[in-house]
Amino acid sequence: MAEADPSLGRVPYPVIDPERIPTKRYYDEQFYKLETERLWPHVWQMACRLEQIPEIGDWIEYANLGKSVIVVRTKDGVRAYHNACRHRGVQLAEGHGNCKVKGFICPFHGWRWNAEGKSTFVYGRHMFSETQLDPDDLALKPCRVEEFIGCAFITFDDEAVSLRESVGSLAAGLDAYNADTMRAEWCFATVLPANWKTAMEAFMEGYHVMRTHPQLQNMVPILYNSMYGQDTGGIGQPINPNLSIRDNIEAQVKHMELLSEGMAGMCHRKDVAIAQTMLDVDLPEDPYQAIMTWFGMLNHQVTEQGRARGEATPDLNAIAVNTPVKAVEFLFPNYFLLPFLSSMAAYRIRPLGPESCMFELWSLAHFPEGQEPEVPMTPVMLPYDSDKFPTIPQQDYSNIPRQQIGLHAEGFDFMRLSKAVEGLISNYQQLIDGYLKGATPAQLAEGMAKLSGGFDGPILNMQMS
């Protein structure tokens, strides 16, 4: 087994007390530089959605921190290549397109490669030594790529464990959700004046709902208060004993309506429409039994009606029993899925500098074959304070830049975390330290697996030697 690399030395501002995260990790230039050198080259990164490259020859560029990769669909599946001409290093492709006919053509001297990365044309090849034109050496340099949940993920590390192994137990839940057949309805993006980790941590707990999203709190206060405002062990109470069963169900439906409107799709409008028809169904007299029965009936109807429309809707009741997923699921280091009934929202956050990041969000749903929406090849870019964002992102984006400013406050040396519900923040920060220290692939894989299902979870011991 490979051993940790002692030559990497000490990590600046390490997580020593797991309940306290040093604030300089969010803006210090040296720490950011170490992340770019020791973290990002070794992790799996969501590069594109597969519906963006549906036909043979379709390609799309993925770029992050000065590295560019071409992801292309070939006759043998999806491949990825480092985006550089093998002659003088000029970037071969920008944006997206199809290379089936012409291949990838260097704009500098016209050298060409096909979708399989094979060199097909060298202008004036008689002027070069044969040793410089060896076919294997001249081929585009492959980048490791894996398909998962309807996306292509890449990594620059040939020694990293497989993507599925790094995801851990969450993979089974996402497979059961038929995440690989979901399609994007829309994609928005913005540049936030905040460190990439500051932006991500806003979505690692639901503790912020009370103040940040008061419309949700006010609709079902018993749900959020029982998870965060009372000592109930974090178990959400879905029913208000002071309301009738019908009023409780109506509140749940209105909560779904607010989520659907506020996220423009996280709770999909087609699922909300089903819930709206189920206000007067026959239910047990016991209030708790009634609400649980109602949710089971809703899951069943969403599943059956979706399948009747020809959609690959998952069996939501089977998932709840066998492979449950949480309201937010995190794929280290920077990708989130937010499942709700038959659909999901997705977030990807990429660093642009110590205090700047790109934040993209998608709405994902199932559609009958032939009725899929037009593929969003590029996101709709908006200012982070734009009122064109759905309500819930607007509320989140109002906090994140203010937090980044506050992290610089004199005397504010660390964030203090709840050991019960803000554990995911501490756990992934400890895992980052593992990468910066040069922990072994086995240690890192074990740490990543522990992050599955970590939303609203406890702080764990993730320390690595």
Cα(465)–Cα(461) distance, rounded to whole angstroms?
12
Cα–Cα distances in angstroms (integers) from residue 222 to residues 5, 242, 243, in the given order: 50, 10, 11
Sequence-ordered list of residues with C-beta below 8 angstroms from that of 371, at least 6 positions apart, any chain: 310
Topology at the third CATH level for domain 6-45+166-196+327-450: Naphthalene 1,2-dioxygenase Alpha Subunit; Chain A, domain 1 (3.90.380)
CATH class of residue range 47-148: mainly beta
Q: How many residues does the chain have?
A: 465
Neighbours of 197 (CB within 10 A): 21
Q: What is the pLDDT of residues 112-141, one digit of tens each?
A: 999 999 999 999 999 999 999 999 999 999
For residue 233, what pLDDT is reported? 59
CB-based burial, 103-115: b 16+ in 10 Å, e otherwise: bbbbeeeebbbbb
Q: Which residues pair with 336 in a beta bridge?
A: 330, 347
Q: What share of the chain is helix, strand, coil (3-state, %, to 5)?
A: 35, 20, 45
Cα–Cα distances in angstroms (integers) from residue 432 to residues 280, 320, 324, 437, in the given order: 50, 31, 27, 9
DSSP-H helix ranges across 95-238: 135-138, 163-167, 170-176, 196-201, 209-212, 214-219, 221-224
257: left (phi over 0), alpha (psi -120 to 50) or beta: alpha
Which amino acid does the sequence have at 260?
Answer: S
Tokens of 159: 């020694």
Given the structure tokens 């490791």, which residue do they identify? 144
For residue 235, what pLDDT is reported? 63
What is the edge-to-edge ordering of all strands in the sheet holding 329-331? Answer: 329-331, 335-340, 343-353, 356-365, 183-192, 380-381
Cα–Cα distances in angstroms (integers) from residue 224 to residues 66, 200, 230, in the given order: 42, 21, 9
> What sign does the CA torsion over 32, 34, 37, 40 have?
negative
Q: Do domains 6-45+166-196+327-450 and 47-148 have the same CATH topology?
A: no
Per-position pLDDT tens, the chain of length 465: 345 454 455 899 999 999 999 999 999 999 999 999 999 999 999 999 999 999 999 999 999 999 999 999 999 999 999 999 999 999 999 999 999 999 999 999 999 999 999 999 999 999 999 999 999 999 999 999 999 999 999 999 999 999 999 999 999 999 999 999 999 999 999 999 999 999 999 999 999 999 999 999 999 988 888 888 876 555 667 788 888 999 999 999 999 999 999 988 779 999 999 999 999 999 999 999 999 999 999 999 999 999 999 999 999 999 999 999 999 999 999 999 999 999 999 999 999 999 999 999 999 999 999 999 999 999 999 999 999 999 999 999 999 999 999 999 999 999 999 999 999 999 999 999 999 999 998 899 899 989 999 999 999 998 886
Q: What is the pLDDT of residues 235-260, one digit of tens each?
A: 667 788 888 999 999 999 999 999 99
For residue 238, what pLDDT is reported? 75
DSSP-H helix ranges across 309-440: 316-322, 391-406, 423-437
Cα(103)–Cα(66) distance, rounded to whole angstroms?
24
Cα(283)–Cα(292) distance, rounded to whole angstroms?
10
Cα(15)–Cα(22) distance, rounded to whole angstroms?
7
DSSP-H helix ranges across 264-390: 269-276, 287-308, 316-322
For residue 227, what pLDDT is reported? 84
Domain ranges of the chain: 6-45+166-196+327-450, 47-148, 201-321
- H/E segment holding residue 30: helix 29-34
pTM of the model: 0.94
Q: Based on the number of CB atoms within 10 Å of its own CB, is 28 exposed (0-12), middle (13-18) or buried (19 or more)?
A: middle
HEC profile of 345-364: EEEEEEEEECCEEEEEEEEE
For residue 229, what pLDDT is reported? 80
End-to-end CA distance of the chain: 14
For residue 236, what pLDDT is reported? 64
Neighbours of 432 (CB within 10 A): 25
